[in-house]
Structure formats: structure tokens, C-alpha cells
Amino acid sequence: MTDTPYAAHERLVAPCRPRQAIWRVLLGLVIVTVTLFVGYSVVLRMLTATGSQELALSFITGDSQFGMLLLLGCFGFMTLGVVLAARQLQRRGLQSVTGDYRQMVRQFWQVVRLLFLLMLAVFLLPPYDFGAPLTPNLSLGSWLALLPLSLLAVLIQVSAEEILFRGYLQQSLAARFRSPLVWMLVPSILFAIGHYSPEQAGENALLIVGLTGLFGLLMADITARAGTLGPAIALHFANNVVALLIVGFPDMLSGLALYLTPFDMSDTGTLRLWLLVDLIMMVCAWLVARIAMRR
């Protein structure tokens, strides 16, 4: 692997090689799932104990500011699960999963600043709406006041997903299987399945799964090239800042969005057009990340 574009990936994979048995990977996924489920259940039970069903429901749907912040924050339990699995099954710490912290932060900043310049350019160019006027969701003052917490919550959420899928799972599979078709594709498929939501997306559900799977493959590629999770976290962070904090959907995870789209996820006409736009932006962002890493 040392003479390939993915040579840097070996720094992440090597610590897994002494304990590369598949049962360790599967048991690790069980540990992560149980940790996330228990953490989520405890928080939900505490909210229910307050006697406010509305508060508990907002935590499930993410349609309030507090509920959405808490929901995103609970992804920290996913990171905790990975820490437990990596330590108990592979005898390694979190920095072994993420890559060197300093290099990860440096690569994150290199990528994220160019991505936000790209997004700013896109927002300044026509068209200036989503086919109809956007619906205000929060006042600008409230949104700005919440923004530091909102950004932190999104960072917790995207970091957790990258630590699990492009970190623990991708590295563990790469230690066992040489072919990128295995260690890139399997985590991406699992990542995509986790975004299958026919209740909200209707006939668009499979299209969203396919687009999410492609996003996972691009994150797998950029991680293998970088040797840390920094660029993948930056890409995921920029994507979710737009989707969760700037323009959200009215029927799903809308609590922190400044604006809402004039259509929901099940709109087969309008949404599919914007999924194409999203695909183009996704590839452009990936290319920008690759350029940023060469600087």
C-alpha cells in the first residue's frame, strides 16, 4: 500500500493488524450500538420523567432548539462506544482511530475554510431560493445566539459518525482485507442504511440512501489519502451545517435551522432536482478537499 495514493492510510490501519479478526469488528459494532442505545434511552427517560411529553418528543424529532441540540449531543455516546470497543478489542486509544490530533486539526482547518468559501460563493450566486421563498424558522438574533452551541453540536455529531465509519470500521476491515472494495464499500453501505427513512422521505428514501452511500465512499477515499479523519470531518461538518443550521426540511430535524425549504423530503419532484444539485456540490466539495490537502 506504500506506493499507492492510500499510503497514508497505513498509519491508521497498522495498529489494528495484531487484532484483525472479524469477530472483533462485529463485537465492536455491538458495543457501539449498545452504548449509543443505552445513552439515548437514559436521556429520553430523564426527559420523560420531567412530565413534559412535548420535551421528550422534540428530542426524538429534533423540531425544537433544545431537542435538536440534545439529539446531536447524544452522538457523543457513539464516540464513547468506539473508544470502549477500540480499547477493549484492539488495545488502542482514540488518537489511533482519528490519526494524530495535531495533523487532524491542521487538515480539518485546511479543508473547512475552503469549503465555507465555496458555500459562500454558491449562496451568492443565483438562483437565490429553492423554487419558492424559503420559510423563516428562527429569528436572526436567536440563530446567532445559538450558533456557537449549534456548531459544537454538529461537530459532535459528524465527528462521531466519522470516528465510527471511516475510523474504527474502515480501519478494522482494512487490516483484514487488502481490497478497498471491502474496507471502503462496507462502511459506506452501513452508513447509508442508517439514513434510510421511508416515513419522512417516501419514494425518495432509496435515492437519499444512494446519495448518502456515495458520500460515504468519498469520505472513505479522502480519509485514506489524508491519514487522519480531519478532512472527512470537515466535509461532513460543512455539509451538515448547511443542511441542519442554514436551510432545513420542515418535517425533520428542523430545530436549529435559520430557514426551512418550501417542500418536504417526500416531495418527489422538487426534492429530486435538489438531490442532483446536492450530488454536484458533494463532488465539488470532495475535489476542494483534495486540493486543500495539497497546499
Judged against a pLDDT cut of 70, whether residue 2 lies above it is answered with no
Instruction: State the average pLDDT for the chain.
Output: 91
Is the pLDDT higher at 111 or at 125?
A: 111
Q: Would you say how long the chain is, in residues?
A: 295
Is the pLDDT higher at 40 or at 197?
A: 40
Rounded CA Rg of the chain: 19
- Tell me which residue of 141, 130, 143 sits closest to 256, measured CA to CA: 143
User: How confident is the model over 136-146, as pLDDT tens digits?
Assistant: 999 999 999 99
**What is the pTM for the complete model shown?**
0.94
Judged against a pLDDT cut of 80, whether residue 54 lies above it is answered with yes
Quickly state the pLDDT bin for 1 (edges 50, 70, 90). Answer: very low
User: How confident is the model over 265-292, as pLDDT tens digits?
Assistant: 877 777 788 888 889 989 999 999 999 9
User: How confident is the model over 155-177, as pLDDT tens digits?
Assistant: 999 999 999 999 999 999 999 99
Residue-level pLDDT at 212: 95
Q: What are phi and psi of 97, to 5 degrees?
A: -80, -40
H/E element holding 247? strand 247-248
Is the pLDDT higher at 62 or at 268?
A: 62
Contact 106, 229 (CB under 8 A): no
Q: What are phi and psi of 91, to 5 degrees?
A: 55, 45
Kindly state the cell numbers that stand for 9.
Answer: 492510510
Classify residue 187 by burial, with Cβ atoms within 10 Å: 0-12, 13-18, 19+: buried
